[in-house]
Amino acid sequence: MRTAIYPGSFDPVTNGHVDVIRRAALLFDRLVIAVAANSEKSPLFSTEKRVRLIQESLADLPGVEVTTFQGLLVDFARAQGAAAIVRGLRAVTDFEYEFQMALMNRTLDGHMETVFLAAREEYTYLSSRIIKEVARLGGGFGRFVPPPVEAALREALGLRES
């Protein structure tokens, strides 16, 4: 039974994340999506809401669990019996930070591998941050996020139905 952890802020989950999740779910028997509860960034959505939005967006996907975690990722991954950490790579700009994290995690736990999935071309420019920015400024954002996230963003930002 191969378990992998896909950690992140997911504030909120985007179609880019969902694509990584669907592809990672094909590679592992069990995929645990771990929403970081101790992020230094001040999130738009609470940890519980971010978990719920991922669950609602992935209602049809078996073998995928969604939970929160605090503290050191390698400790959480080990407690889950994970063989690997999954991360998505969008561009060179992601690379330096992701490479640093992967090496640090492997130094902290010599058995913990990081598996990088290359973003799909049409999602390489998508990030939670840019979607929130577009939404706040009144741009259409429905095609970048799953339907439950679109509704939640409208509500959180006080936007009307388009």
Binding site for ligand ADP (CB under 6 A): 8-10, 14, 16-17, 20, 87-88, 90, 94, 119, 123, 126-128
What is the distance between the alpha carbons of residues 1 and 82, in angstroms, rounded to a whole number?
Answer: 9
Nearest Cα neighbor of 35 from 49, 23, 24 is: 49
The neighbour count for residue 74, using CB atoms within 10 Å, is: 19
- The helices-and-strands tally (H runs, E runs) of the chain is 6, 5
Select which of 2, 41, 129, 136 is catalytic.
41
What is the distance between the alpha carbons of residues 140 and 99, in angstroms, rounded to a whole number?
Answer: 33
Q: Which residue is nearest to ligand ADP (CB)?
A: 16
Nearer to ligand ADP, 93 or 160 (CB): 93
Answer yes or no: 9 catalytic: no
The least distance separating ligand ADP from the CB of residue 29, rounded to whole angstroms, comes to: 21
Cis peptide bond N-terminal to 7, omega within 30: no
The least distance separating ligand ADP from the CB of residue 14, rounded to whole angstroms, comes to: 6
How many residues does the structure list for the chain?
162
The least distance separating ligand ADP from the CB of residue 160, rounded to whole angstroms, comes to: 27
Answer yes or no: 46 catalytic: no
Answer yes or no: 111 catalytic: no
Nearer to ligand ADP, 15 or 83 (CB): 15
State the catalytic residues: 17, 41, 90, 128
